[in-house]
A and B are shown apart, each in its own frame.
Chain A
Amino acid sequence: MAFLTIPNVKIIGVSAAVPKQKKQVNKLECFAEGEAEKTIELTGVRESRLAPEGWVSSDYCMEAAEHLIEKLGWEKDSIDALIYISVSRDYIEPNTATVIQGKMNLPTTCYTIDVPMACSGYCYGLSVVGSLLSHGYMKRALMLVGDTPSKIMSPLDKTLWPIHGDAGTATALEYDPQANPMYFNLMSDGKQMNAIIAHASGVREPITNEDLNMVKYDEGIIRNRTHVTMDGMGVFAFTMSQVPKSIGVLIENFKIDVNNIDFLLLHQANHYIDEKIRKKLKFPEEKTPYCLETFGNTSSATIPMTMVTKIREQLKNGSNKILMSGFGAGLSWAAVYIETNSIEVLPLIEI
């Protein structure tokens, strides 16, 4: 098991940016009559945000970051690291974090790296950024976490398109010897790599003309081989069997008092499944906020999106003990415990 304890690092600010354009689930053309309502009832997703042509995940992350560092009063020269966590990368080469560093005019002394994770990304990202800062050589880092699923999914695939939304977020972290440790339980299962995959999307299967042909796999499921596909039953079985267990193991290993937890922040793909996890953990409903009704599954961004849109005031005013769990493509899943103390949380930015 990959248990980690990361001392000396604290979150000091969070922000998020989304497109203004909304995608209403009940108006999508991929559904037959009556299917949209059933999907809304089951998943809890009524609408999400849709990035226009030319706007991608890194643009929203960068907007969120610029607003956040301005609010925090950070000099750009003081930023030691920028980590971009997303499967929506600008290019295969160069890495997107470095592209962002250039666009934001961050110093060339800034450490930049991509972490190409999807729904487990926020939790995995905290382990990466935390590890970098914990030694004290680097003092400040920006963790940019977001995705634009609309750029990599088929609008004619009713299994994925309706429930996903676009968003970008920024989290500011600092080295602080007084900070309470972050605790992690990080897991992977690459044997299930085909559970969520875009087959023709990298160097293993270079895109051919044939890959661009739209193929009808079933009613309401039309996509090409560059689009993301998901084995729904496989992912459901994985989530039910592994996610509650991984959170329970984190709690047990680090002897976390669940009665003192203020919030359980789950990755949000499906309200019914999330509620199963919450009930299994016997966690109170009022301490488990969701934002998927209005923003959908924003992949790696669901957790920071929930922080910004649902518990902003609580995070700004006082201390909070938070459990997080991210799970998805890889397959990859992670449970994290952090403590925050009056962090800066900006209102949602709409562009």
Chain B
Amino acid sequence: MDVQTKVIEIVANVCMTDVSNVTLESTIGDFPEWDSMGHLAILQQVEESLEINFDPEEMMDLEDVNDIVKAAEAKI
């Protein structure tokens, strides 16, 4: 499974929506569940499933799906 597909799957799972509703442009606040806690849950699950570790400073720039995909791909 590629990184983009995995990230979208995680976002959909945390936001309790179908993967078809999640795009690369989906961002914090687009779904009721994607609040600050939801954001942390997404980042945590991406880290665990891809066995990567986001740097604290870097995490502040991860605002939408595309940001997360790019940051994750750079670590694999």
Contacts and interface: CB of A to CB of B under 8 A. Distances in A.
Interface of A: 34, 38-39, 41-43, 159, 218-219, 231-233, 235-237, 240-241, 244, 270, 272-273, 276-277, 279-280
Instruction: Name, among B36, B37, B44, B59, the residue most crowded by chain A CB atoms within 10 Å (CB to CB).
Output: B37
Contacts of B35: 159, 218, 232-233
Interface in B10-53: 14, 16, 28, 32, 35-37, 39-41, 44, 53
B2 interface: no
B44 A240 contact: no
Given A232-B35, A233-B28, A273 B57 contact: no
Nearest to B54: A276
Contacts of A272: 40, 44
A236 B44 contact: no
Interface residues of B, number: 18
Contacts of B39: 233, 236
B37 A159 contact: yes
27 contacts: A34-B16, A38-B37, A38-B41, A41-B41, A41-B44, A42-B41, A43-B37, A159-B35, A159-B36, A159-B37, A218-B35, A219-B32, A231-B36, A232-B35, A233-B28, A233-B35, A233-B36, A233-B39, A236-B39, A236-B40, A237-B60, A240-B59, A273-B40, A276-B56, A276-B59, A277-B56, A280-B56
Contacts of B59: 240, 276
A42 B44 contact: yes
Nearest to A43: B37
A244 B56 CA distance: 8
Contacts of A159: 35-37
Given A34-B16, A42-B41, 14 more contacts: A41-B41, A42-B44, A159-B35, A218-B35, A231-B36, A232-B37, A233-B28, A235-B36, A236-B40, A240-B57, A240-B59, A270-B40, A273-B40, A280-B56
Contacts of A218: 32, 35
Contacts of A273: 40
Contacts of A43: 37
A272 B41 CA distance: 9
Instruction: Name, among A42, A219, A273, A277, the residue most crowded by chain B CB atoms within 10 Å (CB to CB).
Output: A42
A273 B37 CA distance: 11
Contact of A240 (B37, B41, B60): B60
A234 to B, nearest CB: 8
Nearest to B36: A232
Contacts of B32: 218-219
A41 B37 CA distance: 11
Contact of B37 (A42, A219, A237): A42
Nearest to B63: A233
